[in-house]
Structures are given as structure tokens and as C-alpha cells.
Structure 1
Amino acid sequence: MKKILILSSFVFSGFAFAQEIKPILEQEGNLVKATYYYENGKIQQQGFFKEGKLEGQWVSYDENGNKKSIGEYSNGEKSGKWLFWNDKSLSEVDYSKSRIEKIKSWKEDAVVNK
């Protein structure tokens, strides 16, 4: 399960740069808000950059607009609690300096701690 979450994290990060549709970038104070889109026009992911590094909350969606993941970056590193949704489960992953500290998963009324 841990390997799947790590792989999905890389996929999440990689999608931001693998698209053909150009992102929309908007200045918000000292941050740049980035919104990436699917070819169908729906939002793929949205978050912020500060001085070229990922910063603050990032949210990822599937092509139907359903939330896939939500988490925080601090100075380009994953931090705090991240949530990952898929068809039948929810996983909560605690990060510290982009390293997984703890994983908790819920699958159809069952809780799995790792």
C-alpha cells in the first residue's frame, strides 16, 4: 500500500508538467496560483508556487471533477496530512519533509493503520 501511495504521489506531481494544455497562472500576493486542465476543460490540479517552489494547498481532481487528493507543500516539500481518494477507499498520509511518517486507510467501513 505504501508503494502505491508513493507512486500516486509521483504521478500527481508529474501530471502537472505532462499536459499539452497550458496552465493558467495568476499572481496572488507573493504566490502564483497555478490551475492545470484536462483536455475536456475540467480542472486537473490547482495550487500555488512561491519563488518557483510548490507552496501551500494543492488539490487534484479526476476527469469528472471528483477530488483525488489534497495536501500541503512547504518550500517545495510535502508536509502535514494529505488525503487520497479512489473508488472504494480514502487514505490519509502524514508527511514530514516529503517523507511518509504515517498512513491510515479506510476501505468500505474498515480502518487500516500502517
Structure 2
Amino acid sequence: MKKYIMIAAVLISGMIFAQNKEPKLEAQGNLVKVTYLHDNGQVQQQGFYENGKLQGKWISFDANGNKTAVAEYNKGEKVGKWFLWNNAALTEVDYSDNRVAAVKNWKHESGLVNVE
């Protein structure tokens, strides 16, 4: 299972760089806020860079505006808790030293699993 989570995390990270459209860039102090859009204009992914490296919270959305992933970076390295939504399931991946430390899966009977 960890193998599949790692693959999903790498794919999400790779999505940051595989966009066809130019992102919207906004300076916010010493950070650059980056927003990628789907073809329909909905936000696809949003996060920050600091000194050319991923920094802080990155959030991904599907074309309908539903949250699909929340990730944390520190100086370009994966840290903390990442959340990945897939239909009625939620996967939490804990990172330590840029490596997967733990994986937890939740499935809710109503199909709704949410993390703010």
C-alpha cells in the first residue's frame, strides 16, 4: 500500500511541473504564490515557492473544484501530513526526513471524508 501512496504523492508533486498553461504568480513577502488553472478556469493547484523551492501548503483540486490533495513542503522537501482524496476514501501520509513515515486510510459510509 505504501508503494501506491508513494506513487500517488510523486504524481501529485509532478503535476506541479507538468502544467501546459502558465501559472499565475503573486509576490507575498519573501514567498511567491503560484496558482495553476484547469482548462475550465477552476483552480487546479495552489501553493508557494521560496528561493525556488516548494514551501508550505500546496492544495490540489479537480476540475469541479473538489479538493484532491493537501501537501506540505519545507525548503522543497516533503514534510508533515499529506492528505489524498479518492472518491469516498481519504489517505493520510506522514512524512519525516522527506520519506514516508506512516500511512493511514479512512473510508466513510456516507462517502464524505473531509480535512480542513
TM-score (normalised: structure 2)? 0.89
Q: Which residue of 1 aligns with 2:42?
A: 42
Deviations 1:37-81 (A, max 9, x none): 111111111000000000001001111110011121001001011
| Pairing 1:30–2:30 present | yes
Q: Which residue of 2 aligns with 1:75?
A: 75
Q: Which residue of 2 aligns with 1:112?
A: none
Paired residues in the alignment total 109
Deviations 1:10-53 (A, max 9, x none): 11111122222110010000000000111111111100000000
Question: How do 1:1-114 residues align onto structure 2 when only pairs under 5 Å count?
Answer: 1-109=1-109
What is the root-mean-square deviation of aligned Cα atoms in Å?
Answer: 1.1
- By how many angstroms is 1:88 displaced? 2.0
TM-score (normalised: structure 1)? 0.90
Instruction: Flag the structure with more relative contact order, 1 or 2, with Cα contacts below 8 A and sequence separation at least 6.
Output: 2
Structure 1 gap segments, 5+ residues each: 110-114
Structure 2 gap segments, 5+ residues each: 110-116
- By how many angstroms is 1:103 displaced? 0.7
- By how many angstroms is 1:3 displaced? 1.6
Seq. identity, %: 51
